[in-house]
């Protein structure tokens, strides 16, 4: 799944170039477009967050190679299996915060937890339909810029990307355990 999403995400760089090119042309020739800067930021978030798990899968992520490059495969597997717990903890905290932020951007009431909000929202959608789910949404958060796009799409992409990164890190952990046991996966 990460390979498929990562391969598609690679092409977002061309979309980003197109948006930035239009931004440059519109500033030089026409009236500057309000939407270009924020759209470029949203595309870059999607490119980075959805491409990260694919980068981990390929092993092309940046490592501190001062000592790591000279270690044996077994030592690398030990260190990777140990340090990945820190990454999984960080990603878990990031996902928890991202889910809360997504619920806030969809208008969750202050007295309701984000998980209760999503349970009610999905329950209304699957039992009563789209209009019932739409009634559960509160005042939706918007950006404070002049363009004022909704914030929930980029927050949803962040949550999906962090979840995919958690899945990939779990797979890497089991791959390291396999290397320690002498099984190449």
pLDDT at 160 over 90: yes
CA distance 166 to 88: 6
pLDDT at 165 over 80: yes
State residue 61's pLDDT score: 76
Q: pLDDT, tens digit, for every residue of 25-84? A: 988 888 888 899 899 999 999 999 999 999 999 988 777 778 888 888 889 889 989 999
Question: Sorting pLDDT into bands at 50, 70 and 90, what band is 126?
Answer: very high
DSSP letters along 169-181, please?
HHHHHHHHHHHHT
Q: For residue 106, what are the contacts with CB-CB under 8 A and spacing of at least 6?
A: 117, 121, 137, 138, 140, 141, 152
Its pTM stands at 0.87
Question: Sorting pLDDT into bands at 50, 70 and 90, what band is 144?
Answer: confident
State residue 84's pLDDT score: 92
Average pLDDT over residues 4-16: 95
State residue 100's pLDDT score: 94
Which residue has better confidence, 170 or 136? 170
pLDDT at 4 over 90: yes
State residue 30's pLDDT score: 85
Residue spans of the domains in the chain: they are: 2-106+141-180
State residue 110's pLDDT score: 83
CA distance 175 to 94: 24
State residue 64's pLDDT score: 72
Q: pLDDT, tens digit, for every residue of 84-120? A: 999 999 999 999 999 999 999 998 888 889 989 999 9
């Amino acid at each position: 799944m990460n390979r498929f999403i990562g391969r598609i995400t690679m092409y977002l760089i061309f979309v980003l170039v197109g948006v930035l090119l239009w931004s440059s042309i519109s500033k030089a020739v026409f009236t500057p477009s309000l939407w270009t800067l924020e759209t470029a930021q949203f595309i870059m978030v999607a490119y980075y967050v959805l491409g990260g798990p694919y980068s981990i899968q390929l092993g092309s992520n940046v490592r501190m190679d001062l000592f790591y490059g000279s270690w044996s495969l077994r030592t690398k597997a030990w260190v990777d299996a140990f340090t990945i717990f820190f990454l999984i903890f960080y990603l878990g905290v990031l996902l928890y915060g991202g889910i809360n932020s997504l619920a806030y951007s969809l208008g969750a009431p202050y007295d309701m937890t984000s998980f209760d909000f999503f349970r009610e929202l999905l329950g209304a959608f699957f039992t009563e339909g789209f209009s019932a789910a739409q009634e559960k949404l509160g005042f939706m958060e918007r950006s404070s810029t002049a363009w004022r796009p909704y914030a929930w799409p980029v927050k949803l992409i962040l949550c999906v990307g962090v979840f995919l990164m958690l899945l990939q890190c779990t797979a890497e952990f089991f791959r390291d355990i396999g290397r320690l046991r002498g099984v190449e996966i």
